[in-house]
Structure formats: C-alpha cells, structure tokens
Amino acid sequence: MAAIGRFQRGEEIFYAKVVDGELFKLKGDVFGSPSFEKKPTPAKGLKLLTPVAPSKVIAVGLNYSDHARESGLELPKEPLFWFKAPTSLIPDGAKIEIPFANHRVDFEAELAVVIGRRVRNVTPAAAARYIFGYTGAQDISDRTIQHSESQWARAKSFDTFTPLGPYIETKIDPHDLSIQLFQNGQLRQNSNTSQLIFNCFHLVSFISTNMTLLPGDIILTGTPSGVGPIQSADRLEVRIQGLAPLVNTVK
C-alpha cells in the first residue's frame, strides 16, 4: 500500500488506493490485510472524506523547540498532550469556520500519525509496528479562549478546527520530512520533522503507556514556529514532504 484515501458515493463509504490520480477500491479491513480491485473506480460523484474516523484525536503541544521559544514557554520534559473532539475533523477542501469574529484564531501545520493496530504500553523501538501511516493536519486554535483557560481542548475543538488529509501515506520515514504552511501563497511555517523534540515513535510509546490506542486513532505531533492568525477567505496549504498537500479555505 501507499496513499490510501476514504471516499463516499451516495450512502457507501469506502477506502481506496490512490495511484496516479486513479482510485482502486479496497476489499477487506483497511487495518487488516486488505486487497484492492484491479480496475479503477469511476471518480464521478465521489466525495473525499477525512482519511479516518478516529475514536480519539490526540494533539501534542510544544514539540518543536522553535515554536516553544516563540510561545515564550520552556521545553517540556515529557510530551504534553490533550484531546481534540473528533467532530472538529474536516477533509481536504472543506472550509474552516471562525466561530467568533473578534477572536484571534491561528493556523498550525502538523504531521499526523495514524494508528493501525490496538496498542498499549509499547516501547519506542516497537512503535513503528503499530503505525498505519501518516497524513497532513492542522490544529486550528482560538488563542483568545486558549489564553484565558488552563485547559486547551475547547479552544482547539470547535467544528472544522482539525483539517486532516487528504490521504494516508503508508510508506514513509517520518523522521526527516520538510513541513511547510502557505497562507494565500505566502510561506509562513518552514521546518523539518527532524526538529521534533519527541519523535513519532516516542509519542506513540508515551501515549500508549497512558491509554489504549485503537486503529484509526490520530496523533497530531506538534507545529513548528511561524504560527499566525487567519481570517475569512484565506487559503491555507500544508505541504509535508512525501504527502499530498492539504488545502483548506477560511469562512
């Protein structure tokens, strides 16, 4: 497998492998041992969905040293994480909605880990066996609320605040990937996953010591420096090396 997407036609929801713009429907469990139809499925009438429907979305904060510095915060000694509501997820191409016009709301480009197998108490050395793949994401954040509360979940869980996708890349090394965000064509964030304080395998291990992770669960691995405010009509594009771009506009 390589790039895997999730689609809907009418009432049917299905996974498909994406090869040179053509879709080959999956047969069987995407997290098991699936096979794919040999003939491509027609693209007409298809709706792109988020690549998974997770039981939980876990976001990790202050995981790039440059972002911790720009936030004026000390580097964490262990991963700092919280939950985002799964109802905040939107796919590539969907609109981000700002709930309060007078609030500051920021973009945050992130690499997302997609869990592929039920996992509890795994070591970092074994964590890769439990990862299905990786996809692009944003952790949209209402800073006005975030800075007024000690818990961050509400500020980051509004509907549309977690763009995800478009596809899951199953064959990629997550440890040295460029990560960028463009706002209306202007480069705003520009870093590399080699700058993560806690890498993807460490995060899966650490989180799995605190809770069971299930197939399809998402871990947002943190954002680099350069975060900034969004406004209506903005076009936001997350570009991560080896992944298809994630593009959303602001409403």
Q: What is the DSSP string of 143-203?
A: HHHHTT-S--HHHH-STT-EEEEEEEESS--TTS-EEEEEETTEEEEEEEGGGBSS-HHHH
Q: Which of 185, 183, 199, 195 is nearest to 224 (CA)?
A: 195
DSSP string, 69-101: HHTT-PPPSS-EEEEE-GGGEE-TTPEE--S-T
- Which 8-state DSSP code applies to residue 40? P
- Are both 37 and 137 inside the same structural domain? no
CA distance 90 to 166: 10
CA distance 3 to 114: 13
pTM of the entire structure? 0.96
CA distance 241 to 251: 27
- Are both 84 and 130 inside the same structural domain? yes
- Are both 133 and 35 inside the same structural domain? no
pLDDT tens column, 42-82:
988 999 999 999 999 999 999 998 777 777 778 889 999 99
Report helix, strand or coil for 245.
Answer: coil
CATH number at residue 217: 3.90.850.10
- Are both 90 and 72 inside the same structural domain? yes
**Tokens encoding 110:** 């992130």
Give the mean model confidence (pLDDT) for residues 212-238. 97
Question: Residue 17 sits in which domain range?
Answer: 3-48
- Are both 17 and 102 inside the same structural domain? no
- Are both 146 and 214 inside the same structural domain? yes
- Are both 90 and 132 inside the same structural domain? yes
pLDDT tens column, 111-164:
999 999 999 999 999 999 999 999 999 999 999 999 999 889 999 999 999 999
Cβ pair 4, 19 in contact under 8 A:
no
Report helix, strand or coil for 154.
Answer: helix
CATH number at residue 9: 2.30.30
- Are both 154 and 85 inside the same structural domain? yes
Cβ pair 226, 119 in contact under 8 A:
no
- Are both 178 and 66 inside the same structural domain? yes
Res. 34: pLDDT tops 70: yes
Domain end position, chosen among 30, 48, 66 = 48
CA distance 50 to 59: 17
Please tell me the total count of domains within the chain: 2
Q: Which of 169, 175, 133, 152 is nearest to 244 (CA)?
A: 169
- Are both 193 and 142 inside the same structural domain? yes
Res. 1: pLDDT tops 70: no
Share of the chain above pLDDT 90, in %: 90
- Are both 130 and 155 inside the same structural domain? yes
Cβ pair 148, 80 in contact under 8 A:
no
Report helix, strand or coil for 101.
Answer: coil
- Are both 27 and 74 inside the same structural domain? no
